[in-house]
Structure 1
Amino acid sequence: MTGMFVYFFLVLAVIAWGAHLVWRWKQTKDFAPELLKSRKASGELPETVGEAEFTDLYVRAEGPRAGTYIYACGAFMTVGLAPLSAVFNTVWDTFWKLTGGSPVFEQGTLIHTFSFFLTFMGIAIGILALALHRYYTLMPPNLKQIIRSLKESHA
């Protein structure tokens, strides 16, 4: 029963984390027009740059993308904990019964718990590796590059 409460609070923490990320994306979008005005006032950007165009590019470049990828991995692992545990224990139990039911390999023993830990960590590392590969493959330009390209295209 205590495990259910821990899992419930873990899910609540993931929901709060998601809400925080949504708020940070909104802050980034809300800040873009102010930044555009200051860059136009300083002469760094021409007056012909539109607010919608700049906002879209700014949000892509400066939004909390890394945090969003990490959140997606964390949320997937949190939600996937119960089904992954069930699948692992079903497979473990099947192999345990097929090998004669040795008490050394019964569920809850040290070897079972350690094997579960290694499996879960392997899955988590694999998911993080895929997410980081995608993050770096699809990385947008930074703000300096955006300003340079906007200057060139509107000159």
Structure 2
Amino acid sequence: MIFYILIVLALIAWGAALSWKWKSVRDFSGEVLAAKKRDGELPESITEDMFRDLYVRSEGPRGQTYFFACAATLFLLLGPFVAAFNSVWKMFWMMSGQSPVFETGTLVHTFMVFLAFMGACIALLAAAMRRYYALTPPNLKQVLRDLNGAVK
């Protein structure tokens, strides 16, 4: 139980750190805008609200947020996944004549639980990374170019 509590506390700390990073990026956007205006990279007509959203999307910790979401999802679904797997395993074990080799808790069963959960982890991470790269926002250089083009 202590291990479970430690993992929950670690996830909460990780989530709080990510929230702080998102807030830091949001707060820092005003300084970046002022510096870019001062250097002449952006015209004075660009508002802070217009720039903040684009800056946060381009410079925020998106990758870390995806990893956190996957880790939290896998942690929360580990118990229900193993319970569902064991129910299906026990059903097939009983239908096969209850061979002691395939009984719940044997090495074969434990290895199959491991393989099934690793498959679920890989599937979730593949879906998350597919979404991450499909929705990749522009980098700051592209944002500046687009803002300069939108104003002219």
Task: Tell me the TM-score range normalised by the shorter chain.
Answer: over 0.9
Percent identity over the alignment?
Answer: 54
Tell me, yes or no, if structure 1 residue 91 matches structure 2 residue 83: no
Tell me, yes or no, if structure 1 residue 10 matches structure 2 residue 7: yes
How well do the aligned residues superpose, as a CA RMSD in angstroms?
0.9
Q: Counterpart of 1:57?
A: 54
Distance in structure 2 (CA, Å) of the matches to 1:16 and 1:84: 25
TM-score by length of 2: 0.97
Q: Counterpart of 2:131?
A: 134
Q: Could you tell me how far 1:102 is from its partner in structure 2?
A: 1.2
Aligned residues: 152
Q: Alignment partner for residue 26 of structure 1, among 23, 26, 29?
A: 23
Q: Counterpart of 1:71?
A: 68
Amino acid at match of 1:65: R
Amino acid at match of 1:115: M
Moved over 3 A (4+): none
Write the deviation string for residues 104-124 of structure 1: whole angstroms up to 9, x where unpaired: 111111111110000000000
Any stretches of 5+ residues in structure 2 without a counterpart?
Answer: none
Distance in structure 1 (CA, Å) of the matches to 2:107 and 2:68: 31
Write the deviation string for residues 127-155 of structure 1: whole angstroms up to 9, x where unpaired: 00001111111111100000011111123
Amino acid at match of 1:97: M
Write the deviation string for residues 14-69 of structure 1: whole angstroms up to 9, x where unpaired: 11111111111000000000000011111111111100000000001110111111
Distance in structure 2 (CA, Å) of the matches to 1:118 and 1:8: 25
Distance in structure 2 (CA, Å) of the matches to 1:128 and 1:48: 42
